[in-house]
């Protein structure tokens, strides 16, 4: 009877624990094509081997979000099966491109625990690292979730809240070996706007919208081997809806941002992120961005741009919070990330 | 006007006939990824090249069910286009792994015919063999279907009912060359339970559920080039529903069984199977298993486990038949198979 | 604010303009599998490496329609974002097979412009060429669309209407190097009918139907990086429906035509095409064909057959136009193409 995985509860996590997440995953041409079928992804470096090669890269890597979702998905059975809420992300860095044929594994270290005052749940902080078959780290990020207690009588652990950077320092961003945007082809990339054309504070409405479908979000979520019941089973939530995996919204918004940010080619840093409201099938997702910062890099012709990416299911662009300081009900996602762009 | 295939009728089959099924199929990275998008498949040997290699296999093979569905799909235009019902399976054995780039063909021999007493239909038994491009058999199984007569005046053939094993003898199961579970990594596989931890008679509720979607079952069924109209065309059935291909339910249930049977890695034998009731979009599929038998094998560290896998669309686990001996209306599938598991 | 692409208007096109369409695309095993998941595609040359090799080809190429959709999709942001209607196709020729790993780019030359008498829109004719990473042309075709004017005061350009062939002359069709149908295996191809078995004027009802799903047509359309809003966003059309990309109907009808035309293996010429009426999710698509012409080719055992392929969403087969000469409301597509078939 105890053969199935009931998931961990708050009292099962201790600072310093290292969780080896199950089921390594080899990704390749199929995941790549499915990504392009599920999202309107058009960033040229991830669409074309020849474009990537002209930028000094051996081939078109798998989308950075394939790396993220694959590494993230493996953590779900160990980290968020009994989670009440996914509270935040920080210190995310993409460290190496993921190539077709790579096998990804995922490991997390518990770096913080804090029981809630209600005694029924607590916040768990983990630093997750994705590695390829050469044991090279390809991605790392911190995530914190609220997890229910299984045994309400379990003693509260000593509170440890990690000291996390609000923003990944631009100087620590990993630039893929060989990346060179000096001969970047703006015609083939789809837009003429370069790093110098974007101003801090500038806002961009990405215009396009996509109406969500159950089959699509479930296929995406399964592809990353994310097992959370609420995404698949109409009986898992009281209202019979299937909650769309927050990462599906991230990928949709990132793909929509092509229209206006076609040259924000590679995602290299994740500073923060909030899934502000639930997304359901039938919602039409739109996106807008705001330029938060810019930085130079050591790679030839390559600049870094820090962007806020907001996904919505209605309402006007550029509206984020109400007078009460809370996210507006139509806001789905507020993501703060670094991308690389030709200078 | 006679250019289209009207399918064979009962009187068109004779014992000894060999049917070469059309459209060989090369399978690869795309079919592999789609399988993981359509089913919550997580068995590590089929998810990861490195895991497979640590088990003595050259790479992660395509899922055993991809082999089954591909070989099966080719038989539909010749065997079941005019079938009233798919009655049973027996003597199924997976003989070789299917690798990316393999081309599968399918051939069936008619091994039995029995006209029904109503004179309007009959049962046809075929033994189907799937082969790769090296002409190696990769899969064989017996299936019997009830087929309508096209000409009611056709004479009843001499009844031949093949003598079929109720269970594939464990000693005849084909173990992939080189398979070795002595250094099996249970952490990466996702569960600690080994062959010795399962007892005959033990029942496992796999807990998770997936609500079915039209787009998903149609994509799966097309991928295996299964052409049966009832799966695709709302005008093909009186009530306007599209019947979900029974193999879609098999794959869904097998994938769900990961939760509790993560180490039942490879499917090597199909003893019996019944599609007990129709499955439609909107149904939420769950699964439970029962350990029917266990056997040792000659491969290092590899045990065989015989499992009943039951898929349902509701009701409590472990309920199979009513007082009348018939399958309960919520039971979709009753499958009896052999899997390989680390000892 | 001007970072997003608003698309070109009628006055932005001049005869002689060359448009380099954005986002080259590497296609491979994933696109191939998705094509087989989205359409009931069974033509053996595109299903099996071994079948293709027996026909003198190095491997199974990607479906001709993958080439078409990929090349076409790239033109949408530059040609049809503000299009009112897609009016026609002509002079289409597939010039080289597309192989797994090929990277496709797309370029169009404006070859005609004609302002409408209402002064609000005009017709733009473009000749589009798709090339692979070796700069070899793989596909070319002419398309004309009606495009809105952005500035109603813009002067009407001099009218240029290109002189287009009604039919691609059979002698100019490109036959893939090495193609040889002398040892063609009709059993594996699925039907016995050869070139000599089809008569000009013959009509074939392809019998099967497929009911359309939102998730499927959107995945297909995204896979070809076609960005037209009306396919994805329920708020883009007044009635809240998502218009199915006409190319999805082409591929569906072509795949359905296997049943009766299994040996019309390769599509090599596009003579004409009309998207007669809109297709929406829930419609059940059927197809019928008419043999329009036949021609010999210089390749061993290879004949050319010119076919009308009609897709419908209801009604009886072989009905195309009403008494008023207009397409019947249930007709979706009227396509005139050349295919290669064993003699």
pLDDT digits (tens, 9 = 90+) for C205-225: 999 999 999 999 999 999 999
Phi, psi dihedral angles at B11 (to 5 degrees): -70, -10
Subunits next to A (3 or more Cβ pairs <8 Å) are B, C
What residues of chain B lie within 8 A of the CB of A29, using their CB? Answer: 28-30, 33
C215 contacts chain A (CB < 8 A): yes
User: Is A38 in Cβ contact with C26 (below 8 Å)?
Assistant: no
Convert chain A into a string of H (helix), E (strand) and C (coil): CCCCCCCCCHHHCCCCCEEECCCCEECCHHHHHHHHHHCCCCCHHHCCHHHHHHCCCCCCCCCHHHHHHHHHHHHHHHHHCCEEEEEEEEEEEECCCCCCCCEEEEEEEEEEEEECCCCCEEEEEEEEEEECCCCCEEEEEEEEEEEECCCCCCCCCCCECCCCCCCCCHHHCCCCCCCCCCCCCHHHHCCCCCHHHCCCCCEEECCCCEECCHHHHHHHHHHCCCCCHHHCCCCCCCCCCCCCCHHHHHHHHHHHCHHHHCCCCEEEEEEEEEECCCCCCCCEEEEEEEEEEEEECCCCCEEEEEEEEEEECCCCCCCCECCCCCECCCEEEEEEEEEEEEC
Percent helix, strand and coil across chain B, each to the nearest 5 = 20, 30, 45
* Residue ranges in chain C whose pLDDT is less than 50: none
pLDDT digits (tens, 9 = 90+) for A208-233: 999 999 999 999 999 999 989 999 99
What residues of chain C lie within 8 A of the CB of B213, using their CB? Answer: 215
Query: Which residue out of A28, A32, A37, A186 would a mutagenesis test of the C interface target, given it has the greatest number of C Cβ atoms within 10 Å?
Result: A37
Residue A84's pLDDT is what? Answer: 83
Asked if A65 contacts A254 with a C-beta cutoff of 8 angstroms, the reply is: yes
**ipTM of this complex:** 0.96
Residue B2's pLDDT is what? Answer: 76
pLDDT digits (tens, 9 = 90+) for C71-127: 999 999 999 888 888 899 999 999 999 999 999 999 999 999 999 999 999 999 999
pLDDT band at A328 (very low <50, low <70, confident <90, very high): very high
Residue B82's pLDDT is what? Answer: 81
User: pLDDT of chain B along its 343 residues, tens only?
Assistant: 579 888 899 999 999 999 999 999 999 999 999 999 999 999 999 999 999 999 999 999 999 999 999 999 999 999 988 888 889 999 999 999 999 999 999 999 999 999 999 999 999 999 999 999 999 999 999 999 999 999 999 999 999 999 999 999 999 999 999 999 999 999 999 999 999 999 999 999 999 999 999 999 999 999 999 989 999 999 999 999 999 999 999 999 999 999 999 999 999 999 999 999 999 999 999 999 999 999 999 999 999 999 999 999 999 999 999 999 999 999 999 999 999 999 9
What residues of chain A lie within 8 A of the CB of C133, using their CB? Answer: 49-50
A316 contacts chain C (CB < 8 A): no
A213 contacts chain C (CB < 8 A): yes
Residue B25's pLDDT is what? Answer: 98
A50 contacts chain C (CB < 8 A): yes
Closest approach of C173 to chain B, Cα-based (Å):
26
Residue C82's pLDDT is what? Answer: 81
Query: How much is the average pLDDT of A148-176?
Result: 97
pLDDT above 60 (res A164): yes
What residues of chain B lie within 8 A of the CB of A103, using their CB? Answer: 48-51
pLDDT above 60 (res A1): no
Residue C81's pLDDT is what? Answer: 84
Convert A190-216 into a string of H (helix), E (strand) and C (coil): CCCCCHHHCCCCCEEECCCCEECCHHH
């Amino acid at each position: 009877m105890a053969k199935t995985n009931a998931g961990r509860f708050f009292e099962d996590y201790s600072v310093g624990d290292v969780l080896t997440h199950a089921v390594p995953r080899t990704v390749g041409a199929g995941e790549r094509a499915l990504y392009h079928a599920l999202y309107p992804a058009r960033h040229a470096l991830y669409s074309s081997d020849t474009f990537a090669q002209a930028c000094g890269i051996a081939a078109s890597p798998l989308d950075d979000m394939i790396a993220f979702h694959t590494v993230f998905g493996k953590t779900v059975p160990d980290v968020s099966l009994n989670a009440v809420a996914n509270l935040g992300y920080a210190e995310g860095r993409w460290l190496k491109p993921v190539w077709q044929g790579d096998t990804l594994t995922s490991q997390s270290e518990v770096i913080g625990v804090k029981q809630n005052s209600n005694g029924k749940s607590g916040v768990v902080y983990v630093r997750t690292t994705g590695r390829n078959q050469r044991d090279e780290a390809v991605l790392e990020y911190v995530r914190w979730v609220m997890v229910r207690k299984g045994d309400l009588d379990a003693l509260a652990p000593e509170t440890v809240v990690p000291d996390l950077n609000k923003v990944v320092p631009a100087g620590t961003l990993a630039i893929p070996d060989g990346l060179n945007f000096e001969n970047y082809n703006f015609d083939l990339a789809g837009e003429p706007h370069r790093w110098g054309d974007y101003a801090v504070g500038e806002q961009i409405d990405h215009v396009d919208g996509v109406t969500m479908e159950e089959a699509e979000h479930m296929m995406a979520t399964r592809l990353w081997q994310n097992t959370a019941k609420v995404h698949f089973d109409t009986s898992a939530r009281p209202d019979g809806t299937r909650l769309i995996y927050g990462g599906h919204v991230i990928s949709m918004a990132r793909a929509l941002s092509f229209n206006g940010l076609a040259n924000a080619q590679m995602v290299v840093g994740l500073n923060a992120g909030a899934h502000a409201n639930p997304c359901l099938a039938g919602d039409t997702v739109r996106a807008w961005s705001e330029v938060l910062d810019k930085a130079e890099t050591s790679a030839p012709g390559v600049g870094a741009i820090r962007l806020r990416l907001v996904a919505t299911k209605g309402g006007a662009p550029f509206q984020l919070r109400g007078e009460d300081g809370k996210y507006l009900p139509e806001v789905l996602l507020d993501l703060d990330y670094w991308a690389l762009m030709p200078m």
